[in-house]
Structure 1
Amino acid sequence: MKKIFYLFIIVSVTIITSCSKDKKITPGGDGGGDNTDGPSKTGSTLDLIKDSVFLYAQQTYYWNTSLPTYATFKPRSFSGTSDLDALQTEIDAMTQYSKNPETGKPYEYYTPAPGYAKYSFIDDGSVSGELGGVKGDFGFAPVWISEDDIRVKYVYPGSPADLKGLKRGYQIVGINGRTGSGLTYDNGTNVDFLIKAYSQSNDITLTLKKPDGTTFTAAMSTGSYTVNPVLVTKVIDAGGGKKVGYIAFNSFTADANAVPRLNTAFNTFAGSNITDLVVDLRYNGGGYVSTAEYLSNLIAPASADGSVMFSYNFNQMMTEGKATILKNQKRKDDNGQTYSYFDINYTPSANTIRFSKADVPATLNLSHVFFIVTGSTASASELTINNLIPKMDVKLIGTTSYGKPVGFFDIDINKYQMYIPQFETKNASGNGGYYAGMKPGSTTYPGKLANDDVTKDFGDPAEGLFAYAINYVKNGTFAISGTRIQSANQLKTFSVDQSREVGIQVEGKKFRGMILNDPKAKK
């Protein structure tokens, strides 16, 4: 969807639109006095952006009724090391008012860093580029699997890390000259060092140990590359006429990027007559809802065709068509027609999505679908799982997922894009609300609770979590006799819950979300 970036001016003043993100904001006002009962008509560009952040939340935030008044919140009072940091500080504070009655904590309570927003953030446009299929980083991610053992957990093909020979499972024994106790997990200085080194720097030098015990050094710089979200596709013969399809899907990138690659994988599965499917979403933080819909259609049985997949649920102000601030958010549809987000019908009846098997090239006849999940599995990944639970036999393997049943669309404010939850999704059974995550092996999510095994590559039948799925297909149980995955488990000193939390923590501010990128229901 092409965007027209707008210049925000508070509602009572004429709206100016522009294709440029670099113009200044014209001061506006809502009829209130200077920071008393509403925004001032004067102020710096940053002041007006801060006002805009809060005013959009007042009308579109899913928990908007929990927010205080403008005068109480004082948007212009927030500061930071940069303009973007100041805006994120404001958003973090804004999200702590909505309380989940089940926990007594904010819905956006972020366990690794209380006081920070779990879901909401503001961005300089990097996320839209990344989900469009182009990234500009090193192309790998690390994780501690024990206090003294850091591993490469994935590498994107064609990325700088891939070109330097990094592979999943390689042990990282040196980072920018730092070794030994300087790389021990400490929930503090060493964690911050690792996050900054791989996700906030333009250059990095790693010393890595291969499975054969040899080491090598890889010095690399960040670079632009096209993301292939399908990391691995395999078909495993499980014997007795059973075949297991496996796909490691790492990001719900835009349709143009993801759909052709998904089609290739599922056409292979259909041609191989697989009986069971394993979808590895263990590090998939989400992305576009339209891609989640497409993957759900690929996996769903023919009997699901035409039935409810899920529904969007917006706040009351949006549902009743009173979120007038959305008139400022101008867009163009695929036919080149201009509309605004205010023109969308946000009622549940107009936002119920149905399965459509005609939209996908292959239909599988599956006995089971297994989803491999961890604390890094979020949002659009969880949406896909939730969509399919009422329609087929779904089992989860791994650690408890991130817990993000809410999503958003992008709000353009000057040169920034703000993402705050505007909707919650519920499946055909009316179930959602998995704020604590989806726990494998629980009553709601049958399966196997187990640690991630980062010592083996994706799709390796000996990899711990995949091995559980194969064993279930063969024997109807997750229990594995003998020592098949014992060597991997011996390396892990973290409990299952600790492993989950460490994985989330090390990812820092990685994007996690489901973005409504194709609103269909117009008023």
Structure 2
Amino acid sequence: MKVFHVWRPALLLAVSATVLLTGCKKNEDVSPGNLSSTTVATGVVTDTEVNEWILQNMQSYYFWNDKLPASPNKSLSPDKFFASLLNTYNATSNTDGDRFSWIQPSAETLKASLSGQSKTTGLQYKLYYRDNTRTTVIASVLYVLPGSPAAKAGIKRGDIISKVNGQTLTGTNYSELLSGSSDTYTYGFATVAANGSTVDTDQTKQVTAIVFQEDPVLLDSIYTINGKTIGYVVYNQFIPGTYTSDGTTDKTYDLKLDNIFGKFKQKGVNELVLDLRYNRGGYVSSAVNLASSIGKNVDASKVFYSQKWNPAASAAYAAKYGSNWNIQNFVNKSTSIGSNLSRVFVLTTSSTASASELIINGLRPFMTVTTIGTTTVGKNVGSITISDATGRIKWGMQPITFKSANAQGFTEYGNGFVPSVEVKEPTVAMKPFGDLSESMLSEAVFQIAGVRNARRVATLEIDRPFIGSSLDEKAGGGNMYISDKQLMPAH
């Protein structure tokens, strides 16, 4: 069952693929196989042609290319053909299978969304049935993008949406109402009663979706508590910078993080809480940038992570770039606070994935990483973005192409990182980010400074069956771990 709000990413990045392979000195084309283009200069592109293009790229770059079917059915539609090639995960019979590869009809949509640009009202939320009768539904707002239409309308984290355009959300209409053909939505709200149930109010707010660039750095704060100087950052997607119509991405958000850590360093921050609870991943370059600002005694000589590709791709890249082509070291950062830290606290949920998990795994050989929250997704594999450089084939795909390991060689976190300290977020009435009585931040401060904020109170929770989250619709499911140097041949 697909759940989403308004997710219509726009604009395009005109490259054939994006890859980060460390040890490379240049961005150059390299092909693991003798691939030939199936496109022609003129004429209508048939599904068979598209499927040939899909198959050739999957034969070269797919991590499980040895498990591709011998005679795939090329008469299928491209989306079904792509699915037929996958080494699909099965909890019983194929636990090391593929859970994360995807394809989209528009490469433009794919590439823009990976850089945080989409048509949206600016809301992210989780959906629950109101109670065990599983009839009516509520959307519990997780966060609102600053500057977005929803933010300007006054919607905030912790709000509860129970109606859209005058209609009560139910198990049969919520998807249509929350992702309708119109860009304008009138939200009706509910509040929490004394017994923990939700009660509709007369309050409504109208919001119109726009093409919007997400700033992934939602909040930063410094707290001085019981002799500890605690830095806190809420980071929701690994995006280097803003996305533009010519396909370029600047370093706006990487630089914003650098400035935050520079401030932390100046203020003597000696404890860090990194809030990745809703961060489903993104570009490896931004993960390297962030990890290099945190790691204890790390520098450009220390390994952050390594990649394992299929044998053909590995041999081709090694021949082109040398034996260390798949090693990514940390980078030297003048704003690093690592010398002041012995540990880092990471806030996690079941929406914490991919590049976020890379941070956890990559830092553990160098310092104590304490996770607080709930178990993460378990995405220890990465992907590349593949599109047709000629623009003739419009499809874009994001197949899994490699598996990652930290400096100690640890790679087996496919079941997710179980929290060091379990804390479950409430389903409704969530506190604002940065509020010291907010459940997950409060626990982190307690672990650091031994102080439990006096305002922290238990919220009366009733059983609300979970349906899904708008986060699941971010960039093909949001489980992103994307490499970002162009090394792919044009197909």
TM-score by length of 1: 0.74
Deviations 1:315-360 (A, max 9, x none): 0110122xxxxxxxxxxxxxxxxxxxx798477622111122x234
Query: Percent of counterpart pairs with the same letter?
Result: 27
- Please identify which structure carries the higher helix content: 1
Partner of 1:427: 406
Report deviation, 1:231: 0.6
Structure 2 vs 1, CA of residues 89 and 449 (structure 1 numbering), >3 Å: closer, same or farther?
farther
State the distance in 2 between where 1:310 and 1:295 align: 13
Report the counterpart of residue 359 of structure 1 in structure 2: 333
The change in CA–CA distance for 1:485 and 1:92 in structure 2 (over 3 A counts) is farther
**Over residues 381-427 of structure 1, what are the superposed CA-to-partner deviations in whole Å (9 max), with x where a residue is unaligned?**
11111111111110111121122111112111322221101111100
**Distance in 2 (alpha carbons) for counterparts of 1:354 and 1:54:** 33
Check whether the contact 2:259–2:335 (CA below 8 A) recurs between aligned residues: no
Distance 2:259 2:454 in 1: 36
The equivalent residue for 2:230 is: 244
Give how far 1:208 is off: 2.7
Q: Deviation of residue 127 (structure 1)?
A: 3.2
Q: Distance in 2 between matches of 1:402 and 1:139?
A: 24
Quick one: distance in 1 between partners of 2:319 and 2:122? 37
* Structure 1 counterpart SS, 2:110: helix
Higher relative contact order (CA 8 A, sep 6+): 2
Gap change, CA 1:59 and 1:14, over 3 Å in 2: closer
CA–CA separation in structure 1 for the residues paired with 2:65 and 2:105: 21
User: In the TM superposition, what are the counterparts of 1:380-419 in structure 2 within 5 Å?
Assistant: 380-413=355-388, 414-419=393-398
1:320 counterpart SS class: helix
Aligned twin of 2:456: 484
Rounded to whole Å, the distance in 2 between the matches of 1:518 and 1:103 is 36
RMSD over aligned Cα, in angstroms? 3.5
Alpha carbons 2:437, 2:455 under 8 Å: kept:
no
Output one character per residue of 1:261-320: Cα deviation in whole Å (capped at 9) or x when no partner.
Answer: 112221222222122111111111111110011011011123555211110111011012
1:226 corresponds to which of 209, 213, 228: 213
Q: How many matched pairs?
A: 434
Give a deviation string over 1:91-127, Cα, whole Å, max 9, x none: 23322x3567x84236456xxxxxxx53333352223
Larger mean Cα displacement after TM superposition, 504-513 or 452-461: 504-513
SS in 2 for 1:167: coil
In structure 2, relative to structure 1, the CA distance for the partners of 1:360 and 1:491 (3 Å cut) is farther
C-alpha displacement of 1:428: 0.6
Equivalent residues of 2:124, 2:470 under 8 A apart: no
What are the residue-to-residue correspondences of 1:118-267 with 2, within 5 Å? 118-122=100-104, 124=106, 125-144=108-127, 147-148=130-131, 149-179=138-168, 182-183=169-170, 186=171, 189-190=172-173, 192-193=175-176, 196-197=179-180, 202-209=183-190, 216-239=203-226, 241-255=227-241, 256-267=251-262
Aligned to 2:400, the other structure's residue is in SS state coil
Question: Is the 1:131–1:252 Cα contact (8 Å) retained in structure 2?
Answer: no
d(CA) in 2 for partners of 1:398, 1:346: 41
- Separation (CA, whole Å) in 2 of partners of 1:142 and 1:194: 14
Tell me the distance in 2 between the aligned counterparts of 1:233 and 1:103: 42
**Alpha-carbon distance in structure 1 between the residues aligned to 2:111 and 2:323:** 27
Q: Secondary structure at the match of 1:270?
A: helix
Structure-2 separation of matches of 1:453 and 1:361? 37
SS in 1 for 2:263: helix
Match of 2:278 among 279, 283, 301: 283
Structure-1 residue corresponding to 2:29: none
Cα separation, 2, equivalents of 1:262 and 1:211: 36
Scaled by the length of structure 2, what TM-score is found? 0.78
Unaligned runs of 5+ in 2: 1-11, 18-32, 132-137, 194-198, 242-250
Equivalent AA in structure 2 for residue 420 of structure 1: P
Q: Quick check: 2:122–2:145 contact (8 Å CA) kept in 1?
A: yes
- Cα distance in 2, alignment partners of residues 344 and 194 from structure 1: 53
Is contact 2:292–2:298 with CA below 8 Å preserved after alignment?
A: no
Uncovered stretches (5+) of structure 1, i.e. residues with no partner: 17-24, 29-41, 80-86, 110-116, 322-341, 441-445
